[in-house]
């Protein structure tokens, strides 16, 4: 099981100060005063969801599909994802308020710089492993390429598949590790749990470090819904047949 890092002190203080405010107003989907209402989110994810500089673990939210962000908030609230601070923060939010938060961050410009920190140096051997798995997958292990679901630019697919580029390597490693160990779950069928179990720890580290160095060209957002069909059933997303 992958241990989850503790929140930095500035994140913890923001959560403590504002989770009561967010919870008390969870029935309202009005985010006109988003700066105040989302300050707890901004402390760890950046003012516009672009990520906090130097963060080793917390992901950027900006420009990701609203459906994906909404589902993750539900997952934290309903126990499919485990993070004490996030569970506390969203525990009393209703769906309308979470949908408003997701829509707010989905409308922000996508991140345009690589992750500020990485788990380690990207060696040539790691780069080759990552590029092969990201672009070709491994049919012998029934591992599809990352691009088959997250798009050729790895910027995601509307309405519910996220971008992978520029995420902190340690965050990717932790999430894939949590899927492998059964700590993290998604709406069934949970395709990422299947993929994560078929990857070796070395594969996961290589992919994570490589992805952390990539950026979306010109701040490109997720591909439009229906522009391609992922090959594997995953949650409620439409899918095609695997080749």
Contact 26, 94 (CB under 8 A): yes
Do 177 and 101 fall into the same domain? no
pLDDT digits (tens, 9 = 90+) for 119-161: 678 999 999 999 999 999 999 999 999 999 999 999 999 999 9
Percent of the chain with pLDDT over 90: 74
Domain boundary residue, one of 106, 137, 169: 106
pLDDT category at 240 given cuts 50, 70, 90 is: confident
Q: Residues 165, 210: contact at Cβ < 8 Å?
A: no
Residue 121 pLDDT: 87
pLDDT band at 11 (very low <50, low <70, confident <90, very high): low
Residue 54 lies in a domain: yes
Look at 7-16, 210-219, 231-240 and tell me which has the smallest mean pLDDT: 7-16
Output DSSP code: residue 2. Answer: P
Same domain for 99 and 147, yes or no, is no
Q: Clarify whether residues 13 and 93 are in a common domain.
A: yes
- CB count within 10 Å of CB 148 equals 21
Please indicate, yes or no, if residue 52 is contained in any of the structural domains: yes
Measuring CA to CA, how many Å separate 38 from each of 171, 217, 233?
Answer: 22, 28, 33
In tens, the pLDDT along 34-51 reads: 777 899 899 999 999 999
Split into its structural domains, the chain has a count of: 2
- pLDDT-derived band at 8 (thresholds 50, 70, 90) equals low
Query: Mean pLDDT across the stretch 149-175?
Result: 96
- Residue 2 — very low, low, confident or very high, per pLDDT cuts 50/70/90? very low
Of 73, 106, 139, the last residue of a domain is 106
Write out pLDDT tens, residues 70-128.
999 999 999 999 999 999 999 999 999 999 999 999 999 999 999 987 667 899 999 99
Taking the C-alpha atoms of residue 176 and residue 74, their distance in angstroms, rounded to an integer, is 19
pLDDT value at 239 more than 70: yes
Tell me, what CATH number does 128's domain have?
Answer: 1.10.760.10
Q: Within this chain, do residues 48 and 134 fall inside the same structural domain, yes or no?
A: no
Find the domain containing 149 and state its range.
124-219
Where in the chain does DSSP place strands (E)? none
């Amino acid at each position: 099981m992958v241990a989850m890092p503790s929140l930095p002190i500035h994140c913890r203080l923001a959560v403590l100060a504002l989770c009561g405010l967010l919870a008390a107003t969870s029935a309202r989907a009005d985010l006109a005063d988003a700066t105040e209402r989302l300050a707890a989110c901004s402390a760890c994810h950046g003012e516009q969801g672009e990520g906090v500089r130097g963060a080793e673990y917390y992901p950027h939210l900006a420009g990701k599909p609203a459906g994906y962000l909404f589902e993750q908030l539900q997952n934290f609230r309903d126990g499919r994802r485990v993070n004490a601070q996030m569970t506390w923060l969203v525990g009393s939010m209703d769906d309308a308020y979470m949908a408003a938060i997701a829509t707010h961050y989905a409308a922000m410009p996508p991140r345009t710089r690589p992750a500020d920190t990485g788990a380690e140096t990207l060696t040539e051997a790691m780069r080759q492993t990552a590029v092969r798995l990201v672009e070709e997958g491994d049919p012998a292990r029934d591992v599809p390429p990352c691009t088959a679901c997250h798009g050729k630019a790895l910027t995601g697919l509307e309405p519910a598949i996220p971008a992978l580029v520029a995420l902190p390597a340690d965050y990717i490693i932790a999430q894939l590790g949590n899927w492998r160990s059964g700590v993290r779950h998604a709406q069934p069928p949970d395709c990422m749990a299947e993929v994560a179990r078929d990857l070796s720890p070395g594969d996961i580290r290589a992919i994570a470090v490589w992805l952390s160095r990539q950026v979306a060209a010109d701040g490109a957002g997720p591909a439009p819904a229906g522009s391609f069909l992922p090959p594997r059933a995953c949650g409620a997303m439409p899918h095609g047949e695997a080749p």
